[in-house]
Amino acid sequence: MPRVKRGMMVRRRHDKVRKQAEGFRGGRHRTFKTAHEAVMRSMHHAYRDRRRRKRDMRRLWIVRINAAARQLGTTYGQLICGLRRAGIELDRKVLADLAAREPETFAQVVARARAAL
């Protein structure tokens, strides 16, 4: 059976991992074993946090909507209930953007929601 030398393939695999570990401190970007462990952990965090970001953004939008709604004399829960009853289908992202950038339009939306209650 002929001898198989795998130096080139191993080097290529190690270089790929080290490339992903660029910017890490100490041996975490130099030595393959610690770099591989650090890269695996960072990939896990990235995967988890891509899902967590969606939750965080929704929470931020709700905080902004609630703050703007309270300035207009209502609460977040009452506003959402009124929007449902009025048949206004604006999602939280759009409502938060309206509250921040166009307060007059947001005030009109709140007025329609309060009328539906």
CATH number of the domain that 53 lies in? Answer: 1.10.1900.20
User: Model-level pTM?
Assistant: 0.81
Does residue 15 register a pLDDT over 90? yes
7-34 mean pLDDT: 96
Contacts of 9 (CB under 8 A, 6+ apart): none
Does residue 6 register a pLDDT over 90? no
Per-residue pLDDT band at 1 (split at 50, 70, 90):
confident
Q: What pLDDT shows up at residue 9?
A: 93
Domain count, the chain: 1
Query: Quick check: is 2 in a domain?
Result: no
Domain that holds residue 111: 7-116
Contacts of 49 (CB under 8 A, 6+ apart): none
